[in-house]
């Protein structure tokens, strides 16, 4: 490792830490917290504890979503820019992105304060189970994308790139003719 692009490293860390936090929180809530609360606390106590947790967790969910969107899109753009990717890569990334949007929606609603959030929380076990499945699918897809064979695109001299951009002009070829 001759050189390190620290921006790429920071983006990777952001992505992994946000994913671990959001995914871990979902799995913990579904498989440890909910069953334990149902076994040990009266309904009023459960509601009070849920409200207290929700107030803290919703901020973490929002930060995780922001970090995942920013770092994930930058990482994807860099991959497309720097590598020739296998044919399935874009489609699989699209599936991963759509699943992630579903996870973001469910996590936001379950930790939110709206009337919709209250309806979702009435069936929290179901929604957290769905989110857990989506999270596992995203992790599996991420593993495939990470090890997919990528061929480094040849470096283009800056002068050649500048000339090509100047030749094209500001308009697409179809509009210049």
Distance, first Cα to last Cα, the chain: 47
CA distance 64 to 47: 25
> What's the rounded mean pLDDT across residues 67-85?
94
CA distance 81 to 31: 40
Considering only residues 62 and 1, tell me which one the structure prediction assigns the higher pLDDT.
Answer: 62
Q: What are phi and psi of 84, to 5 degrees?
A: -85, 120
pLDDT of 45 strictly over 90: yes
83 pairs with which residues across the strands? 152
pLDDT of 76 strictly over 90: yes
For 136-172, the pLDDT digits (tens) are 999 999 999 999 999 999 987 665 555 555 555 555 5
Query: Which two three-digit tokens encode residue 102?
Result: 């579903």
84 pairs with which residues across the strands? 151
CA dihedral 162, 165, 166, 171 (to 10 degrees): -160
CA distance 104 to 20: 14
> What's the rounded mean pLDDT across residues 117-134?
94
pLDDT score, position 58: 94
Where does the pLDDT of residue 69 fall: very low under 50, low under 70, confident under 90, or very high at 90 and above?
very high
Q: What are phi and psi of 151, to 5 degrees?
A: -105, 125
pLDDT score, position 170: 58
Output the pTM of the full model: 0.81
pLDDT of 128 strictly over 60: yes
pLDDT score, position 135: 96
What is the SS3 string spanning 58-121? HHHHHHHHHHHHHHHHHHHHHHHHHEECCCHHHHHHHHHHHHHHHHHHHHHHHCCCCHHHHHHH
């Amino acid at each position: 490792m001759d050189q390190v692009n620290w921006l790429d490293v920071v983006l990777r860390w952001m992505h992994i830490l946000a994913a671990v936090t959001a995914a871990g929180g979902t799995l913990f809530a579904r498989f440890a917290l909910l069953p334990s609360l149902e076994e040990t606390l009266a309904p009023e106590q459960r509601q009070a504890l849920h409200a207290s947790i929700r107030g803290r967790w919703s901020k973490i969910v929002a930060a995780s979503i922001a970090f995942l969107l920013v770092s994930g899109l930058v990482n994807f753009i860099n991959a497309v820019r720097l590598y020739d990717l296998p044919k399935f890569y874009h489609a699989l990334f699209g599936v991963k992105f759509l699943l992630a949007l579903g996870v973001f929606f469910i996590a936001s609603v379950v930790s939110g304060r709206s009337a919709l959030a209250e309806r979702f929380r009435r069936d929290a076990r179901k929604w957290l189970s769905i989110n857990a499945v989506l999270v596992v699918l995203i992790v599996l897809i991420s593993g495939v994308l990470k090890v997919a064979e990528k061929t480094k695109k040849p470096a283009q001299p800056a002068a050649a790139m500048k000339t090509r951009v100047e030749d094209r002009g500001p308009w697409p070829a179809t509009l210049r003719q």
